[in-house]
Structure 1
C-alpha cells in the first residue's frame, strides 16, 4: 500500500475529467506498449488537449513519416472506425533521440514541452537481452536521466510514469514493490561507459552485472535509482510490468505486434518448428495483458496527478504482474497451444504440433539435435534438390539462440508481489470501472490465448481467415504423415528386435 491511495477521492475528478485539457509527452510511443497507451488515451480520454511523441529518424524514415506509420497500425482500427480524425488532431511528434544529450530535442521543442506538458510517460527502452553494456546504458540509463532532467524543467508537471520491469531485481525472491539497493552507482556506470572502449567494456561486463542475467535487467535496475533520487522533488510513479503479452480487451482482444513471450513459443510450435524447450513443465510464467498494464499506468497517473506534491512524498511502485492472481505453467501453455492448433491451425505447417519440455540441459541438447537440427538439414537438402532456397536450418539456429537468451528466465522461478497494484484498482471510481479496471484473475486462459493466436495469425503472420479450411486440410495431412512415419519407425525397430539372436534364442528355448 502507498501513501497516494490513502486519501478521500470523493471530490477528485474521474479519470476522463482529470485528463481533459491535459498535454502528454510520451517516449517509446512507437513500441508495443506505447501504441496501446496512445490508443487508450485517445479512445477513453478523448478530451485531452494533445499528445507529443518523441520520435527519431530511423532507417532514413523521418519522425513525420514514422508518425504516419504508427497510425496505420491495426492497433488504431477501433479509433479510426469510432473516432475518426482524433489521432491526426491530437498527436504530434517531437524530433529527438532517447540516446542523445537533452534527448536530441531542439531548443524550440524543449520550450514547448516545458511550458505545455502536464503528464510524462517514459516507456522508451531497449528490451534486447544481448545489447552491449554501452548501448543498453545509453538507452535505458542515460535516456531515463535525460527524461528526468527534462521533467525538472516542466512548469506544470503533475505526474511522470516511469515504466521499468518486474525483472529488474532477479537476484531476489520474492520481488516486492520496493526499491532495492543498486548494484553500482549509476553515475559511475555512465562515466565508465563514456570513458572505456567497446572491447574493454565487453570484457568487464560480467564483472559489472554480477548476479543479473543481462545488460537489459542491469541497466533497468540502475534507471530506477535515477528516478528514486527525485523522491519528494518530482511527482513520479514506477510501474514494473512482468512479461507483457497480447491484449485482453483494448484496443481489441488479442492485439499483438511482436513475437515476445508466449506468442513466439505458440507460433514456433504451431508451425512445427519449435519442438523442445529447456525449462521445467511446472514453471509458472507471469504474463500480463498489455492493456492491463496500460490501464494501471493511466490509473496511477490519475491518482498521483490529483495530489499536490509534498517533500515528504515517497515514490509509489506497482508490480504490474499476475502474481498469485492468475497462474499458468509452461506445460499448461503448451497443452493449450495444442488445442488451439486443432481449432485454428497455421498456414503451411512444417510438421505437427508436439513440444517436449525438459529441465535436463543434456536431454535438451539431444532433443535439439534430433528434433530440430537433423530434420532441418533433411528439409533444406530437399529444398536444394527441388531448386528452392534452403531456410529451415537458419530458422532453427535463430530458435536455438532465442532459447539460450531466455534460458535464465525459463529455469528460475520468482514470486512477484502486487499488493500495491491490487489496492490501486480498488480506488477506481465506479464510473471509471468499465474503461480502466483490470482484473486478471477472471481471465479464461484457453479463450484468451485462442484469441491471441487468432490475432497473431492475422496481424503478425498475415494469414487470412479464408485460408483456414485449407490450413485444416494441410494440418490433417501432416498429422497423418507424422503417424505413418512413426508407425514405420517403430515397426522397423520391432522388426529389428525380433530378428536379433537374443529374441530368436528366447523363443526357441
Structure 2
C-alpha cells in the first residue's frame, strides 16, 4: 500500500469535528490548519444554545490557547480573516438527534458539504454521572453516525475512543471491535436499551423524590459504577465508550468507519511545540501529587507498564488513518487502531518515579508559604487494594480511635481533627479506587494495525515525515523530563 500526499488529501476537504473544545480535538484542528490551510472548511461543533455563544467558546476555549501560537505567527495580522474563512463554530449537542443543530439551513448545507467527520466529543471523567456518560459517549456515537449517513459526500467517520474499553484485561489485547452485548467478563448479558431504561427509571425516581442536584449526581455516579462493574468495566467512562463502539460497529451500514483507540494521552512530544497539555490525565494525577509532596504511598506496582502516548502522535496517527482509509480498497471494513507504546517501547511506574524525582529535586514546586516543596525519595507502592485499605485504616482510623480515648484536647478540637482526617481519607480512597485499574493494569495493547499504517507511511516519502506516531521514537527520559513534566507544571499546576 502506498499513501498519497497528506497535503493533497486534505486540500479542499470539509471536515466536521465534534467536541471541539476537548484536548485532542483542539490539537487535530491546529494540525490541520497548520499543515494544510487550503482545506475548504472546518465545522467545529460546540455545546452552545446559539451561534453567538458557540463562536465565543471557539475564540475563548480554542483559538486563544497557546497551542495556536504557531498558526497565529504564520498568519500574523491575517489570522482573524483566515479563521473566519476556514472555521465555523456550530452550536449543537452530540447527545441530541441531528447533533442538536437547530438551524435547518445550516444542517442541510453541512449534509451537502461534509467529506469527513471526526467524532471526538466525550465525557471523560472516570466517575461521571451515568446519565451524562451514556448520553454523550454512547448516544453521541449513534447521533454522529446518523448524521454521517445523511452526508451525501461522506467519505470517512473517525471515532475517537480509548484503548481501555477492554476493561481490566491481561496479556495481549487485540485490535478488535466490540460486538453488540460483548462484555469483558463474558458472564453477563449487556443490553444497551436496558441500561438506558435503568437510567430513565432512576431519574424518574429522583424527580418523584424532589431530590436535589447534589443527591442526583451522587446517585447517578454510583449507578454508573455499579452497572460498569456488573458487566466487567472499572468505570462509567470506559463502559459507555465501549457501548458507543458497539453501536458504531454494528449499525454503520455503508459508512466507512475508523475507530482510534489511544491509551493514556500525555502532552505533545514535538508539535506544534513540546509539552502542551490540558488537564490532569490519569498518571499525571500522581505526578502532581508527588511534586506537591503529597504522595508517599499508593496502590500500584513498580513494574506496571504505563501505556502512554504523546498527544501529537495520536493526532498524526488519526490523520494518516484517514488518508489510508481514503485510498483503501476495503472501505466497507472497520479500521481499528490501538495508539500506544506498551508493546514497542514500554515505560513503567518505576521509570516515571525516577524521572519525577529528578525533575522535582532540581525544580521543586513552591508552597503557599513561598518555600520549596520537599518530596520523598521513593514512593511505597502497594500491590493490592485490600492491602492499601488496611494501611489506610492504620494511618487514619486507629489514631482517631486512640485520640478519642486518651486525648485531653477539647471536644471541639477533636471534632475538627476528626473531620479533616475523614476528608483526607475519603479523598485518597476515591482517587485510589478510580485509578487502581490503571496502576495495576496487566495488559499489553497489540498494535499490528497501527504498525502496518506506520510501515505504509514510512514508504510514502518525505511528505509524511511530519506525521510521526512511532512510539519507538520516544526517548522517555528526555521527553518526560524536558517536555512533559515542565508542560504539566506550566499549563496545569501553574
TM (norm. structure 1) is: 0.79
Task: Name 1:282's counterpart in structure 2.
Answer: 303
Q: What is the aligned partner in structure 2 of residue 461 from structure 1? A: 493
Match of 2:155 in 1: 158
Q: Which runs of 5+ in 1 are unaligned?
A: 1-6, 375-383, 385-389, 463-509
Instruction: State whether structure 2 residue 229 is matched by structure 1 residue 206.
Output: no
- Match of residue 357, structure 1, among 381, 385, 388: 381
Of 174-183 and 221-230, more deviation after overlay is shown by 174-183
Residue of structure 2 equivalent to 1:78: 70
Alpha-carbon distance between aligned partners in 2 of 1:25 and 1:216, rounded to the nearest angstrom = 24
Q: Name the structure 1 match of 2:439.
A: 410
Q: What is the rounded CA distance, in whole Å, between the counterparts of 1:233 and 1:103 in structure 2?
A: 20
My pick for the range that moved more, 40-49 or 77-86, is: 77-86
SS at match of 1:83: helix
Match of 2:192 in 1: 186
Partners of 2:15 and 2:159 lie apart in 1 by 14
CA 1:445–1:207: 2 relative to 1, 3 Å: closer
SS of corresponding position for 2:166: coil
Contact 2:10–2:39 (CA under 8 A) maintained in structure 1: yes
The aligned runs of 1:342-353 (5 Å cut-off) are 342-348=361-367, 349-353=372-376
What is the Cα-based RMSD across aligned positions, in Å?
Answer: 3.0
Distance 2:301 2:205 in 1: 36
**Are the equivalent residues in 1 in contact too, given 2:169–2:442 (CA < 8 A)?**
no
1:250-274 Cα distance to aligned partner (Å, 9 max, x none)? 1211111111123222121011122
Cα separation, 1, equivalents of 2:75 and 2:357: 38
Match for residue 94 of structure 1 among 90, 94, 97: 90
Q: Which residue of 1 aligns with 2:174?
A: 176
Q: Gaps (5+ residues) in structure 2?
A: 183-189, 207-219, 400-412, 414-418
Does the residue aligned with 1:229 lie in a helix, a strand or coil? helix
1: CA distance, partners of 2:393 / 2:85: 55
Aligned residue in 1 for 2:357:
338
Against the structure 1 CA distance between its residues 406 and 150, is the aligned structure 2 distance closer, same or farther, given a 3 Å change threshold?
same
Q: CA 1:363–1:189 in structure 2 vs 1: closer, same or farther (change >3 Å)?
A: closer
Please give the residue correspondences for 1:229-248 in structure 2 after superposition, counting only pairs within 5 Å. Answer: 229-230=250-251, 233-248=254-269
Aligned length: 438
Residue 119 (structure 1) aligns with: 116
Q: State which structure, 1 or 2, has the greater radius of gyration over its C-alpha atoms.
A: 1
Distance 1:261 1:88, change over 3 A: farther
Picking from 403, 417, 430, the partner of 1:401 is 430
Q: CA deviation at 1:236?
A: 0.8
Look up the match of 1:483.
none
SS of structure 2 residue aligned to 1:167: helix
Q: 2:364·2:374 contact (CA, 8 Å) conserved in 1?
A: no
Of 323, 326, 340, which residue of structure 2 is paired with 1:305? 326
Structure 1 distance, partners of 2:236, 2:224, is: 12
Q: Scaled by the length of structure 2, what TM-score is found?
A: 0.81
Which residue of the other structure, out of 316, 341, 357, is the alignment partner of 1:322?
341
Q: CA deviation at 1:24?
A: 0.6
Say if 2:217 is the partner of 1:227: no
| 8 Å CA contact retained: 1:281, 1:358 | no
Deviations 1:305-337 (A, max 9, x none): 234775xx2111101111311111112211111
Pairwise mapping of residues 345-494 of structure 1 onto structure 2 (< 5 A)?
345-348=364-367, 349-354=372-377, 355-361=379-385, 364-365=388-389, 398-428=427-457, 429-450=460-481, 451-462=483-494
Hey, what does 2:14 align to over in structure 1? 23
Q: Separation in 1 of the partners of 2:39 and 2:151?
A: 18
Alignment of 1:109-148 (within 5 A): 109-148=106-145
Higher mean alpha-carbon deviation, 219-228 vs 80-89, is at 80-89
CA contact (8 A) 1:245 1:261 kept: no
Give the secondary structure class of the aligned counterpart of 2:165.
Answer: coil
